[in-house]
Chains A and B, each alone.
Chain A
């Protein structure tokens, strides 16, 4: 095996005419360590190793949380590598700056608008310096689409060069395909595995030769997911399944009031219980360590703990909601403005106004929050189901009192993420406990702990005003939003000049042509942690906007579909999905009494989605009968994965719209489990029909964009069935007579 050193730097050049250098891709420190126990073969670049037996190992730098990145990302690389798909296997990337999510930062800085080459280069530089290795923002495939194909094509070029050298023939006479480099007529052939060691020492080609779409063999195919065999036989390793020699199991209770601290507690009863090894006080929590999880949980429950509440009043839901509603009387900070909305409203023939609101939401991933940590003199090992390896490493280093380069992050499968696992609180906690314990420790939160110590989707309120002319045309749109700010917690500078973009996304850059519009936002802060929740701000702006558009259509005396289409003259992709969903759902045909259809359109994360929901409201209550979805997500890498994400997003959206509500009392979250924070079940699952538009546009995201339009499609359908407008989520409790 060749020795890998910093000299074997792989320099990847972009395929663009400008020949922009994409970056220096070092084989990461941690991936090199993988060589010791496993012969994964030679590094061709940071994402690829090829073994002598032709096994292709793709190092995936995004977390597999069910969205299929352990298949889609290897498909991109394997496509341009030209290897046999059956030889591909996946390992999780370690934490390393080479794996930073450049795309996500670029999208944030550019606001999703195209940039010139110079701006693109500069923003890319900044992103590599200041970005993070993070899985989120439906960015995995979008971000990997070009770099991983280039990584594959670059490696193919190196393998071809190695073969050409060995044969003493020009590279142009050789080709790489199906895991073999062949010369001219194919008399001479060498497998990638036989060439990999030699190829790894060669200079990568300056202009990697990317395949044309008509040459693709993998992209666009519904390939079975590589991770699924292990997910039907129980062998897939989630965070909670990590087992380390000599490890202890910890149960933890943190102060139920956010910001509170641990007060008096008597560990005696717990310490007397079988298997209990230690009771460890942390600043804001108490940990009990035992020789199994259940014993730790039992012993924790046996400790009487006094908590010290933080100074200041203890919030409850009523006060938070009142504060958000009151904020709607303020203008707030302008997020987007065009025309003269005040004048247009004053001059309109018909005006309408409505207030909407949504509650805090928990992520409630099925795998409770957990991590396993081992603190040794030579460094820290952290096994963690995380969406954020570098942030976790930093948190672990701080907790252990060491430097980040001494932390080895081992990313397991994630039993759901939905944004919750982009936080590093559990890394801090697990490493702190392991350090105190002097032994490897697995911390697993109870379901109640998971629910009561989340970083919640912000509660939000919205006031919408619209003005119509005599012909029912929408002239003016004024939107005031009020919510806590996620970025004010995570990265305050992002809120200094502009309002928090994550709070207003989806309300701004609407596809509808409305000459006079203003969108503003007021921050209201409460002692409740807020964070990224699948589709973030879009999760509520789509509800506000698409329900209010329906109200405007009603006021205009127009059909909701026709009214929207009338505003979409310059938005062909949105138009297309809307028309497709409507046609497939037989929009406009009559339904029996008690039934209604609702339509909604929303664009986010680079994709465009229209939904038509059909509901039945009768004496037994509400049932969602059918949801027809149309999506334009650009080039589709794996259509079966797209379909799965659409199906799952509809469930996720319906769960939130029908049932989701986190409430506060005395500074604490009330909900503790699936009884008071219910999830949609199989018996409530509507028929889902999906229609994907063919597109040659760049890939859009698929993990999040279908969530936002679910609530408005549902609520518009409820209106069609009952005549009742739902302006507050969740729906539950609002349809009883």
Chain B
């Protein structure tokens, strides 16, 4: 199968049902995308497929038909507006879930540049055990104003 990740095309041989998450992490070595639950509940594994936020732990890699972007490919220098705002407001704590949150946020802003709180809550159902929600909300409000 062919998989384009962060602009690079890969020719891979993997099982039909192998989730994109594990192809990214264990085959391609892109460990920024995280394993949290493996069943699409927590969102730590969120990446973009064709610009849309996808929970990669429940998406077979062989079913991916559009280019994939991971946290490593969001920008080369932390310059994506979401990354900049995340640093400006010091959002992460342990940081484990944040790749997924940032990717979900970036996808939302692409489709909905001025999201309401309700838009944000609907799109960012990610679990953050450290509880950075107050700052995620503030960061998204600031990005919606920008």
Residues on A with beta carbons closer than 8 Å to the beta carbon of B62: none
Q: Are A294 and B93 in contact (CB under 8 A)?
A: no
Q: Does A229 contact B (CB under 8 A)?
A: yes
A227 to B93, CA, bound (A): 9
Instruction: Count contacts on A: residues with CB < 8 A to the other chain.
Output: 64
Q: Which residue of A lies closest to B93 (CB)?
A: A66
Q: Are B87 and A650 in contact (CB under 8 A)?
A: no
CB distance from B122 to the nearest CB of A (A): 8
Out of B22, B99, B121, B131, name the residue touching A648 (CB < 8 Å): B131
Stretch in A393-401, A408-416, A561-569, A570-578 with 4+ CB within 8 Å of B: A408-416
A700 to B58, CA, bound (A): 43
Out of B38, B92, B136, name the residue touching A232 (CB < 8 Å): B92
Within 8 A of B (CB), among A226-249: 227-238, 240-241, 243, 249
Residues on B with beta carbons closer than 8 Å to the beta carbon of A648: 93, 130-132
Q: Are B42 and A234 in contact (CB under 8 A)?
A: no
Q: Does A57 contact B (CB under 8 A)?
A: no
Q: Are B83 and A232 in contact (CB under 8 A)?
A: yes
Given the interface pairs A233-B78, A234-B71, A682-B120, the reply to whether A415 lies near B94 with Cβ below 8 Å is yes
Q: 1/0 per residue B35-66: CB within 8 Å of A?
A: 11111011010000000000000000000000
Instruction: Count contacts on B: residues with CB < 8 A to the other chain.
Output: 59
CB distance from B79 to the nearest CB of A (A): 10
Out of A291, A366, A644, A687, name the residue touching B129 (CB < 8 Å): A366
Q: Are A228 and B133 in contact (CB under 8 A)?
A: no
Q: Are B32 and A66 in contact (CB under 8 A)?
A: no
Given the interface pairs A644-B93, A647-B135, A650-B131, the reply to whether A293 lies near B121 with Cβ below 8 Å is no
Given the interface pairs A236-B95, A675-B41, the reply to whether A640 lies near B90 with Cβ below 8 Å is yes
Residues on B with beta carbons closer than 8 Å to the beta carbon of A101: none
Q: Which residue of A lies closest to B133 (CB)?
A: A685
Q: Are A444 and B35 in contact (CB under 8 A)?
A: yes
Q: Are A414 and B94 in contact (CB under 8 A)?
A: yes
Q: Are B131 and A680 in contact (CB under 8 A)?
A: yes
A366 to B43, CA, bound (A): 10
Which of A65, A233, A274, A414 has most B Cβ within 10 Å?
A233
A640 to B134, CA, bound (A): 13
Q: Are A416 and B92 in contact (CB under 8 A)?
A: no
Residues on A with beta carbons closer than 8 Å to the beta carbon of B39: 447, 673
Q: Are A674 and B37 in contact (CB under 8 A)?
A: yes
Q: Are A293 and B35 in contact (CB under 8 A)?
A: yes
Out of B34, B75, B126, name the residue touching A415 (CB < 8 Å): B34
Out of B27, B31, B75, B126, name the residue touching A241 (CB < 8 Å): B31
Q: Which residue of B lies closest to A227 (CB)?
A: B95
Q: Does A225 contact B (CB under 8 A)?
A: yes
Which of A230, A249, A365, A644 has most B Cβ within 10 Å?
A644
Given the interface pairs A447-B39, A682-B120, the reply to whether A231 lies near B95 with Cβ below 8 Å is yes
Q: Does B128 contact A (CB under 8 A)?
A: yes
Q: Are B96 and A674 in contact (CB under 8 A)?
A: no
Given the interface pairs A233-B78, A240-B31, the reply to whether A683 lies near B22 with Cβ below 8 Å is no
Residues on B with beta carbons closer than 8 Å to the beta carbon of A447: 36-39
Q: Which residue of A lies closest to B134 (CB)?
A: A647
Residues on B with beta carbons closer than 8 Å to the beta carbon of A650: 131
Q: Does A666 contact B (CB under 8 A)?
A: no
Residues on A with beta carbons closer than 8 Å to the beta carbon of B2: none
CB distance from B46 to the nearest CB of A (A): 12
Residues on B with beta carbons closer than 8 Å to the beta carbon of A235: 32, 72
CB distance from A618 to the nearest CB of B (A): 18
A367 to B72, CA, bound (A): 19
Q: Does A224 contact B (CB under 8 A)?
A: yes
Within 8 A of B (CB), among A146-172: none
Q: 1/0 per residue A674-697: CB within 8 Å of B?
A: 110001111101011000000000
Q: Are A366 and B132 in contact (CB under 8 A)?
A: no
Out of A68, A416, A417, A682, name the residue touching B125 (CB < 8 Å): A682
Q: Which residue of A lies closest to B122 (CB)?
A: A683
Residues on B with beta carbons closer than 8 Å to the beta carbon of A644: 90, 93, 132, 135
Within 8 A of B (CB), among A277-303: 291-295, 297
Within 8 A of A (CB), among B67-116: 70-72, 74-75, 78, 83, 86-87, 90-99, 102
Out of B37, B122, B132, name the residue touching A647 (CB < 8 Å): B132
A23 to B24, CA, bound (A): 48
Given the interface pairs A234-B31, A415-B96, A447-B37, the reply to whether A365 lies near B121 with Cβ below 8 Å is no
Out of A229, A293, A652, name the residue touching B25 (CB < 8 Å): A293
A541 to B124, CA, bound (A): 34
Which 3 residue pairs are nearest across A and B when measured between Cβ atoms?
A234-B32, A651-B131, A415-B96
Interfacial residues, chain A to chain B (CB-CB below 8 A): 64-68, 224-225, 227-238, 240-241, 243, 249, 274, 291-295, 297, 364-368, 413-418, 444, 446-447, 640, 644, 647-652, 655, 673-675, 679-683, 685, 687-688
Q: Sample 21 A-B pairs with CB under 8 A, ordered by A number.
A: A64-B94, A67-B93, A224-B87, A227-B95, A228-B86, A228-B95, A232-B92, A235-B32, A235-B72, A238-B96, A291-B26, A294-B21, A297-B38, A366-B44, A413-B94, A413-B95, A418-B129, A647-B133, A680-B131, A680-B133, A682-B120
Q: A235-B32, A293-B22 are in contact. List 8 more A-B contacts (CB 8 A).
A: A229-B78, A234-B72, A240-B35, A415-B34, A447-B38, A673-B37, A681-B121, A682-B120
